[in-house]
Amino acid sequence: MKKFTTLTSKAVALPIKDVDTDLIIPAQFLTRVSDAGYGDCLFRRLRDSDPNFPLNQPRYQGAEILVADDNFGCGSSREHAVWALRDGGFKAVIAKSFADIFSGNAANNGLLLVKLVPEVIDQMINSILISNGTPEITVDLENQVVSYQGKQSSFDYDPFRKHCLINGLETIDYLHAERELVTKFAEHHLVTAMIPPLRINCN
């Protein structure tokens, strides 16, 4: 997994509530066994039905940040949705809220999810939609700050997931790095499990 510290990029605005995983990656495209090659299928239904959909517009090409509305990533638990976003070039998604399972899949696959208050998200989306220059957003994971048009907004992020993202570690990589502690923990509990319980005779 690639390390994530600070990202500065233009952003794509998606002012749609409850974007589910089937909208992100339609079910008919779930044919691969690896996580590669799903970028072309990202938001395929919307891209095919609407010529003005943001991902069809040249000015958004190369954007690595997606700004979405509320409850992004709801629906099925398919990990392919995260794979499609990542393969489509996105490294971070900023939204009002995210579905729980989608959040776990994103963290496990190196996609940063940033939750900001609704007022800030609405301002970002409106500014991106009316701007011809696609202004840039900076996401600083280490300091947990998003900078946009001279304004800064802080965000909360799970410390363990932050450590893994900053250091480019998958969960299994983290466990390998802490092999000595894991071994000591396992040995202690194995020994404890082998000690018979204390029996008290009350007669």
**Where do the domains of the chain lie, and which CATH numbers do they carry?**
6-168 (3.20.19.10)
Q: Are 115 and 100 in contact (CB under 8 A)?
A: no
Q: How far does the chain reach from its first CA to its final CA, in angstroms?
A: 62
Take residue 145 and report the two structure tokens written for it. Answer: 């700050």
pLDDT digits (tens, 9 = 90+) for 51-67: 999 999 999 999 999 99
**What's the mean pLDDT in 74-91?**
95
**pLDDT 10s digits, 92-143:** 999 999 999 999 999 999 999 999 999 999 999 999 998 876 789 999 999 9
Query: What pLDDT is attached to residue 199?
Result: 57
The encoded tokens of residue 83 equal 């794979």
Calpha distance 76→26 (Å, rounded):
11
pLDDT of residue 201 exceeding 80, the answer is no
Q: What pLDDT score was predicted for residue 133?
A: 67
